[in-house]
Amino acid sequence: MKRMLSGIKPSGELTLGNYLGALKRFVTYQEEYDMFVFIANLHCITIYQDPTQLKSYLKNAVALYLACGLDPDRSTIFLQTDVPEHAQLGFILSCNTYLGELNRMTQYKDKAASSEGALSVGFYTYPTLMAADILMYDPDFVPVGDDQKQHVELTRDIAERFNNRYSPTFNIPEPLIAKTGARIMSLSEPTKKMSKSDVSDKGVIYLLDEPNIIRKKVRSATTDSCAAINFDPQNQPGISNLIQIVAACQDRSIEDVVATYKDYQYGAFKDAVATIIIDTLTPIQARYKEIINSELLEQTLMKGKEKAQHIARRKLEKVQRKIGLEIKKK
CB of 112 to ligand AQP, least distance (A): 14
Q: Rounded CA gap, 110 and 9, in Å?
A: 18
CB of 25 to ligand AQP, least distance (A): 9
CB of 209 to ligand AQP, least distance (A): 15
Is 196 known to be catalytic?
yes
Residue 286 identity (one-letter amino acid) = A
CB of 278 to ligand AQP, least distance (A): 19
CB nearer to ligand AQP: give 3 or 9.
Answer: 9
Residues within window 7-36 making contact with ligand AQP, judged by CB under 6 A: 8-9, 11, 15, 17-18, 21-22
Is 193 known to be catalytic?
yes
Q: Rounded CA gap, 267 and 246, in Å?
A: 15
The stretch near ligand AQP (CB under 6 A) out of 27-35, 193-201, 256-264, 300-308 is: 193-201
The stretch near ligand AQP (CB under 6 A) out of 63-71, 122-130, 139-147, 268-276 is: 139-147
291 Cβ partners below 8 Å, 6+ apart?
Answer: 63, 66, 67, 297
Residue 289 identity (one-letter amino acid) = K
Q: Is 144 in the site for ligand AQP (CB under 6 A)?
A: yes
Q: How far apart are the first and last CA of the chain?
A: 30
CB of 163 to ligand AQP, least distance (A): 25
Q: How many residues bind ligand AQP (CB under 6 A)?
A: 22
48 Cβ partners below 8 Å, 6+ apart?
Answer: none
- Please select the residue that binds ligand AQP; options are 56, 103, 115, 197, rule is CB under 6 A: 197
The stretch near ligand AQP (CB under 6 A) out of 71-79, 164-172, 194-202, 321-329 is: 194-202
The stretch near ligand AQP (CB under 6 A) out of 49-57, 69-77, 188-196, 207-215 is: 188-196
Is 216 known to be catalytic?
no
Residue 67 host element (H or E): helix 51-67
CB nearer to ligand AQP: give 15 or 128.
Answer: 15
297 Cβ partners below 8 Å, 6+ apart?
Answer: 59, 62, 63, 66, 291
Work out the burial of residue 285: count CB atoms within 10 Å of its CB; fewer than 13 is exposed, 13-18 middle, 19 or more buried.
Answer: middle
Total Cβ atoms within 10 A of residue 162? 22
Contact 187, 202 (CB under 8 A): yes
Q: Rounded CA gap, 153 and 174, in Å?
A: 8
CB nearer to ligand AQP: give 17 or 238.
Answer: 17
99 Cβ partners below 8 Å, 6+ apart?
Answer: none
Which residues are near ligand AQP by CB under 6 A? 8-9, 11, 15, 17-18, 21-22, 40, 144-145, 147-148, 181-184, 193-197
The residues annotated with a catalytic role in the active site are 111, 193, 196
